[in-house]
Amino acid sequence: MTDRWIRNAVGGRLVDPDERRSFPAVDPVDGRTFARVHEADADLVDRAVSAARAALTGPWSRWSAAARADLLRRVADRIEQRAEEFVAAEVADTGKPVAEARRLDVARAVANFRTFAGIATHAEQPSFLTELPEGRQALNYAVRSPLGVVAVIVPWNLPLLLLTWKVAPALGCGNAVVVKPSEETPSTATLLAEVLAECGLPAGAYNVVHGFGTGSAGEFLVRHRGVDGVTFTGSSATGSAIMRTVAGQVRPVSFELGGKNAAVVFDDADLDLTVAGLTRSIFANTGQVCLCTERVYLHRPIFDEVAQRLVAAARGLRPGRPQHPATTTGPLISAGHRDKVLSYYRAAAEAGATVLTGGGVPTIAGAAAADGSPDSDGRTGGVDGDAGLDGGWWVEPTLWSGLTNADRPVREEIFGPAAALIPFDTEDEAVALANDTEYGLASSVWTTNLGRGHRVAQRMRVGVSWVNTWFLRDLRSPFGGRGLSGIGREGGDFSVDFYTELTNVCVQI
C-alpha cells in the first residue's frame, strides 16, 4: 500500500484526502499501484463550483486581458522549469516512453499556454456603422465577456496536452474552470494546480475534482447548475450522455469525440514518406489517439509492397520500460481497455481476417536480445532489463488484411495499435470507402499529385484532412469532428468563440 496521495484542488488549496473515498492510481507498465487518488463526492464538487463562481466576481474578474496573457506566459515558463516533474507524472499515469512525453505532451502544454496568451488578447470584436433613415447613424459593436464557470473534462490518452489545450484559452478569456481529469490519469491536473498557484492565479479560478463518470465527480459536475458550459474530449457515448444531461439547461458544449480515421494511399505516393507517416498514425501512443489511423486504403498496385513495409515497421517497435532510451511503444492504459482491444482482435479473426502481424499479447521480458535483434517470429521484443512487465497492459501492434467496411473492426473505434489494410482501384472508390463511417474526425491522403491531394482531401467528410503528413497542427486552425466525432471547433479564435459570450452594443449617433 502506498502512502502517496493525488489530491483534489479547490479554491486555491489542495484538499486533505479522505481514506473512505479513494481509488488506486495504477502504472499500466507493470500493474503496480503507485498512489491513491482522493475521489471527490457531490459536496466537494459543489465546493469547487462555488469557488469558481466566487472567482468570477472576485479579484480574477478585474484582471485585464493583458494581465491574463502575462499569467499564461508565466505558466508556460514554469512548466518548462518543472518539465521533468510533468514528464514523470505523465509517464507514471500512461506508461508512454519518457522521450515521447517530453517531446509531445509537455512541449505542447507549454505551446498551448504561449499560443493562447497571444490569441486571447487579440480576439475579434466586430463593429458596424449603420446608416439609418434621414441621415442618422448607429454604431454597433460587440463586447466579449467570459462564458463563466466551465467544466473541463479530459481523457486519459493525452491528459496534459488536452488539459492545457482547454484550460489555457478558458483562463485567457477570463473564465473559471473545474477540471475533471480521467480517473486513469489524475496526476498532471493536480500538478498544474500547483503551478497556476505559484504563478499568481487567484484562488478558485482553477479547481480539480477527481473521480469517475456516472455516480461520481463527472456526473456531479455536468449536472451542477452552477456550470455555464462543458468542454469534453473522450468517447462518443460519453459525449452523448453529457449532451443529454445539459440539454435541459441549454448549456453550450464543445466535444471532440472518437474517430475511425482513414488513410488513402495512391500508387504515386512517396512510399518512404508514406510508410513512415502511416507507422506514426497507426501506432503512436499505442494507437490511443483519437486521430490515429485504423483504416488504410491502398491503391491495388502498391498494396503488397506497402503492407510488407508496414509489417516490418510494426515488428520493429520495441515495448519496454518508459525510461529506457530504446523503448518506442508503451502499454494500453488499463486492463479493461486491453480487454476491449483484444475483443476486436478476436472479432477480426472471426470475420476471416488475415493477421499480417500481431494479434495478441506479447511476452515482453526476455523476448529479444539486449541489442534489439528480432526473435524467431520476426518481432522485436522488450528491451534489456524489462523483467516484471508481464503484469502490465500490453498488446501486440497488429495489422490485418481481408476485412471489408462491413466488418466490426473496420466500423467501430478500437483505440489501440491496430489497422485494417484494404485495397481500392479508383479515386472515387477510395473516397467512398473512406467516407463510409459514422465518424468524421480526421483523414490523411498520400500522393505526389498535388491536384489530386487537394481534390481528395476536400472530399473527406472530416474535421482535419491531411495531405502527405499526419498530426501536424497549427494551434490557430480549427479543430474538431463531424458526426460521432464531435460538435464545435476549438483552436485559435474558434476557442475564443466558445469560451466567451458576445454582447452587441448599439448606440444611435
Of 336, 329, 349, 297, the closest CA to residue 417 belongs to: 329
Give the position of cell 498496385: 301
Q: Which of the following is catalytic: 256, 294, 396, 490? A: 256
Cβ 285 vs Cβ 160: under 8 Å:
no
Model's pTM, two decimal places?
Answer: 0.94
Residue spans of the chain under pLDDT 70: 1, 365-387
With b meaning 16 or more CB within 10 Å and e meaning fewer, what string describes 355-366? bbbbbeebebbe
Beta strand spans in 331-453 (E): 354-357, 398-401, 418-424, 439-440, 442-446
The domains located in the chain, with CATH, are 5-257+485-508 (3.40.605.10), 261-474 (3.40.309.10)
234's CB contacts (< 8 A; 6+ apart) are 153, 154, 155, 182, 257
* Grid cell in block for residue 271: 512510399
pLDDT, position 412: 98
d(CA 65, CA 145): 11
Neighbours of 348 (CB within 10 A): 24
d(CA 362, CA 379): 10
pLDDT, position 222: 98
Cα–Cα distances (Å) from 150 to 4, 158, 205, 226, 253, in that order, read 29, 20, 10, 9, 10
pLDDT, position 3: 86
Q: Which helix (H) or strand (E) holds 507?
A: strand 500-508
Q: Which helix (H) or strand (E) holds 167?
A: helix 159-172
Neighbours of 214 (CB within 10 A): 8
Cβ 393 vs Cβ 341: under 8 Å:
no
pLDDT, position 380: 44
pLDDT, position 385: 53
Cα–Cα distances (Å) from 37 to 184, 190, 292, 337, 496, in that order, read 10, 11, 30, 20, 33
> How many helices (H) and strands (E) in the chain?
16, 23
pLDDT, position 390: 87
Q: In 3-state terms, what secondary structure has residue 123?
A: coil
pLDDT, position 227: 98
Question: Rounded to 5, what percent of the chain is helix, strand, coil?
Answer: 40, 20, 40
Catalytic-residue membership of 290: yes
Q: Which helix (H) or strand (E) holds 306?
A: helix 303-315
State the DSSP code for 20.
T
Q: Which of the following is catalytic: 173, 199, 290, 292? A: 290
d(CA 100, CA 79): 16
